[in-house]
């Protein structure tokens, strides 16, 4: 896990919190925290799935 991976996950957390604020302007700290955790973890899951998909796609072409 490198610095770029951490930066991607942090960016995912920030985007998720901002999205939660747009949906509910009166969001409390627990809602924002839950959004941050979901964004942080979700970014890693999506990245792994995309790398897995692209890896299988490259193998099928070669």
**What are 25-38's pLDDT values in tens digits?**
999 999 999 999 99
Q: Is 28 helix (H, G, I), strand (E, B) or coil?
A: coil
Q: What would the two tokens of residue 10 be?
A: 């942090």
Cα(24)–Cα(11) distance, integer angstroms: 20
Spans of the chain below 50 pLDDT: none
Contact yes or no for 40/12 (Cβ under 8 A): yes
């Amino acid at each position: 896990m490198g610095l770029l991976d951490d930066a991607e996950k942090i960016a995912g957390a920030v985007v998720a919190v901002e999205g939660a604020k747009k949906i509910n302007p009166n969001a409390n700290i627990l809602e924002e925290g839950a959004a941050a955790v979901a964004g942080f973890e979700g970014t890693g899951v999506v990245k792994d799935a995309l790398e897995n998909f692209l890896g299988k796609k490259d193998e099928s072409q070669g």
